[in-house]
Amino acid sequence: MEPEAYEDMAAVEARHWWFRGRRAVLRAVIGRLGLRPGARILELGSGTGGNFSLLAEFGAVTAVEMDAYARDISAGKSVPVDLHPGALPDKFDLGGATYDLVCLFDVLEHVEDDASTLRTVRRLLAPGGAAVITVPAHPKLFGPHDVALHHKRRYERAGLADKLRAAGLRVEVLSFINAALLPLAFLLRGLDRRLGRRRASGTAIPPPPVNALFAALFAAEGRLLGVATLPFGLSLLAVVRAAD
């Protein structure tokens, strides 16, 4: 992404409803994995470090980020993280370490070779380890927002499942997330395309009451995923382990 995109991300990721809601969902999902105390956690594509505090709740965090500008921003976080340069699918050196939890939070869509990246995830998993992956859903929604963020693709549920299994990963959970705002997203993305907008609608932080409502609606899905998967949503979330 461009430096301006990382600056925007760093400026809003603590407050914007999407980041707040996604962290709440991830906290609930990771909390149900039964990680041991001091678990070894790896975030691939850590961006500006907005997830470091969340992940540090569950163990010792290592991170890999390609962009030097984003690394500079994330290095200023107060959470101690072992931060490495590198690019996916495998252009980084972690000394042969494996991890109890590997995370790719809206990263896979940025990588040209997503199949090789998923095989790298499989290689990095310690015995019994899990990976949590989120990606944007619905190729029909691909638009200015995706272009600005250098997305290569959006995913269908079945297609993502096939890629995960082909990489030697066993799918434990595969669910849509961010369900409540899907109709609004389809409407806004359609308007963006029709009007030829170069910047997607809905990326700014809305007024505080709206921002809080949207964050709460998204966060509530973390509890729902403990008992069921969601049949629709703006994104997909997968929990996977190495296949036997």
The whole-number pLDDT of residue 197 equals 58
| pTM for this prediction | 0.92
The whole-number pLDDT of residue 141 equals 86
- For the stretch 14-44, pLDDT in tens is 899 999 999 999 999 999 999 999 999 999 9
Q: What angle do CA 210, 220, 187 make, to 5 degrees?
A: 50
Distance from C-alpha of 230 to C-alpha of 111, rounded to nearest angstrom: 26
CB 233 within 8 A of CB 176: yes
The CATH class that applies to domain 3-242 reads: alpha beta
Give yes or no for residue 140 having a pLDDT over 90: no
Bond into 89 cis (ω within 30): yes
Tokens of 123: 């290689």
Strands of 95-164 (E only): list them.
99-105, 125-136
Query: For the residues 174-200, what does the mean pLDDT come to?
Result: 75
The phi-psi region of residue 180 (left if phi > 0; otherwise alpha if psi is between -120 and 50; otherwise beta) is: alpha
Domain positions in the chain are 3-242
Give yes or no for residue 6 having a pLDDT over 90: no
Q: Which of these ranges, 15-19, 145-149, 154-158, 211-215, has the smallest mean pLDDT? A: 145-149
Cβ neighbours around 118 below 10 Å, total: 27
Distance from C-alpha of 225 to C-alpha of 120, rounded to nearest angstrom: 26
